Structure 1
Amino acid sequence: MSKAIAMTKKHETEVLPTLAILGAVLLWGSSFPAMKAVLAYLEPWTVMWLRLIFGSLALLPMLGRVLPRKTTRANWKLLAPLALLQPCLYFLLESYALKYTTSAQAGIIAATLPIMVAVGARVFLAETTTLRAYAGLLLSVGGVAWLTLAGSPSANAPNPALGNLLEFGAMVCAAGYMLLVKRLSDTFGPWTLTAIQTFIGAVFFLPGLWPLVTNMPEGLGTVLPVVVYLGTFVTLGAFGLYNIGIARIPASRASAFINLVPVVAVAVAWVFLGETLSPTQMLAAALIFLGVWVTQKSGNRG
């Protein structure tokens, strides 16, 4: 009886973190068609700077609550790399990766992220990851590869080898970010970590202001509401929600949800942009859901 009660309590304590991560996944998935619309008017550096500036402005009313009052040098040795990895290097590497390789190849490489995190969590955080969890991760990776290859082909890949290398580097940065969040969550709240990432990222992408100063693009007002959405909901909201979730459940399980992002992106494009969704893509999405479900039922622990 006591074991059943303990399992019930554990399940209840994981519901809110899981919902937070799913909320982050929905927001990240919705960002793809939004970014596609914005990038027709603005350069990637400018878009990222605007996103992080609007995110920073949204944080201002909560500044006294989210900023740490005392931070040791030892903490900054982890906080600074956290912000450098995500959003700085991650967005920089992925933006340029997509200039050189196809979105299909980039999507397949991105699907390896949960496996990187699972291995990293075992080595650096002493998390136990079961064979069933690894099987679930491999299922979701296969689903992402299938979903990506089932999409429309693109010939816009001038240097696939370089692009794929940059995308792999972006995934290494994302994995490092997740492991650092898990490590720092014992000391800092999720919104404190999110605020530090946002403020440092805004400074890092400051060169993106220059095109706005020298040559204000036409049609900026048209996409400005979309940029505000990307900054406040996607950049700030999604990071905050994901940081809440990964602080409370094992990093390997939290990262498994990332493979749902392309599913959400395809669904949003299908509903709002009228893009096609083939039966093959539906089957691939189902395989991803199955893989994530198997991972969550694996019983791995942090």
Structure 2
Amino acid sequence: MKARTYALIAAWLVAIIYGVTFTIAKDVMPKYIDAFGFIFLRVGGSMLLFWLCTLFVKTEKIERKDFPRILAAAFFGVAFNMLTFFKGLSYTSPIMGAVLMVTTPMIVLVLSAIIMKERMENRKILGILLGLAGTMTLILYGKSMVNAPNASLGNLLVFVNAVSYGFYLILVKKLMDKYNALSFVKWIYLFGFLMVIPFGWGKFQAVDWGLVPTSAYLKIGFVVVVSTFLTYLLNLLSMRELKPTTVAVFIYLQPLFASIFAIGLGKDSLSWVKIGSAILIFIGVYLVTQKKSNKPQESVSEEQ
């Protein structure tokens, strides 16, 4: 029970950090650095941090047969996922980008039912639908779209990213059950970095770093260290105790926290629509994260 509580706290922290990241990343690109250049910096910096960690934390040797899964996880969870997301975010608004990410729990639920033969409990389906309703209400009535030069393309790319991340959550679960997190994450980021080099190197070189203000450097640092390195570790911690569908539903909280952050900066205002949306989202997350209490203890532990 204690481990599950820590896992849920980790999932909440990830949602808060990601909610803040939408606005922070949007402040940096494409004004100072192109989306693909930012991804090159983000993945490369995180890869170095993960490999540095292995100098202080003992890791296991990965079996050769598991490298195809790691390569697939690197593609869906790092390279393709981040390239489509950041490019999409550079075209659409932060709030809309956050909202479109909520399609991930639906995707993961379906993929889990197909690939992992996970049962689609009525309680989980209701929770996901309530969260979806709250999130769509938040975007449709909560904030006008601003700073979105090509919203249609941006929204499509963010949706493609959500599908990609759904595949990643399914792929990485089996690795989590077999290895210590750092043992395979360092490889996921190494392969992911190699995949993004062809797209990001030229854009990274094109940046005139002398014109980039200190505030932008700090925001880039936040995205690399906190939004990528730290959240990846927290996500893996939560996935050790929770099902992929449970972890995915926390994405519903991202647009909520994105709105709270925007309101705090004076870029948005509070309304009853937003309060109602927030209530629906929280109820949805609650329903999905609660375990059935009427089962024997053995079954409950297997459900985690």
TM norm. shorter chain > 0.5 = yes
Residues 196, 23 of structure 1: alpha-carbon distance in 2 compared, 3 angstrom cutoff: farther
Deviations 1:168-212 (A, max 9, x none): 321211100111121211122223343233333333333434344
Q: Which moved more, 1:166-175 or 1:215-224?
A: 215-224
SS of the equivalent of 1:185 reads helix
Deviations 1:128-171 (A, max 9, x none): 331011001100011111111121134846472x5444333212
SS of the equivalent of 1:126 reads coil
Equivalent position of 1:286 in the other structure: 279
2:202 aligned to which of 198, 210, 213? 210
Q: Which moved more, 1:15-24 or 1:188-197?
A: 188-197
Contact 1:127 1:250 in 2 (8 A): no
Equivalent position of 1:26 in the other structure: 16
Contact 1:125 1:183 in 2 (8 A): no
Deviations 1:229-262 (A, max 9, x none): 1111110110110111112111111211111011
- How far apart, in 2, do the equivalents of 1:34 and 1:221 lie? 14
1:86 aligned to which of 77, 81, 86? 77
Contact 2:181 2:236 in 1 (8 A): yes
Identity between Structure 1 and Structure 2 (%): 21
Equivalent position of 1:15 in the other structure: 5
SS of the equivalent of 1:42 reads coil
Residues 277, 126 of structure 1: alpha-carbon distance in 2 compared, 3 angstrom cutoff: same
Equivalent position of 1:169 in the other structure: 160
AA of the residue aligned to 1:30 = V
Q: What's the C-alpha RMSD, in Å, of the aligned pairs?
A: 2.5
> Are residue 234 (structure 1) and residue 227 (structure 2) matched?
yes
Q: Which runs of structure 2 are paired with 1:1-302 in the superposition (5 Å)?
A: 11-39=1-29, 40-64=31-55, 69-98=60-89, 106-149=97-140, 150-154=142-146, 156=148, 158=150, 160=152, 162-206=153-197, 207-217=199-209, 218-297=211-290, 299=292, 301=303
- How far apart, in 1, do the equivalents of 2:127 and 2:137 lie? 15
Q: Which moved more, 1:16-25 or 1:183-192?
A: 183-192
- How far apart, in 1, do the equivalents of 2:151 and 2:234 lie? 35
- How far apart, in 1, do the equivalents of 2:283 and 2:17 lie? 21
Residues 155, 273 of structure 1: alpha-carbon distance in 2 compared, 3 angstrom cutoff: closer
Q: Which runs of 5+ in 1 are unaligned?
A: 1-10
Residues 107, 227 of structure 1: alpha-carbon distance in 2 compared, 3 angstrom cutoff: closer
> For this pair of structures, how many residues does the alignment match?
291
Contact 2:19 2:98 in 1 (8 A): no
- How far apart, in 2, do the equivalents of 1:158 and 1:63 lie? 41
- How far apart, in 2, do the equivalents of 1:108 and 1:222 lie? 26
Q: Which runs of 5+ in 2 are unaligned?
A: 293-299
Q: State the Cα distance separating 1:92 from its structure 2 match.
A: 1.6
AA of the residue aligned to 2:73 = L
Q: State the Cα distance separating 1:44 from its structure 2 match.
A: 0.6
Residues 268, 54 of structure 1: alpha-carbon distance in 2 compared, 3 angstrom cutoff: same
AA of the residue aligned to 1:143 = G
Deviations 1:69-116 (A, max 9, x none): 532332011000001011211122223334566666655543221111
Q: Which moved more, 1:211-220 or 1:33-42?
A: 211-220
- How far apart, in 1, do the equivalents of 2:262 and 2:93 lie? 18
* Superposition TM-score, scaled by structure 2 size: 0.85
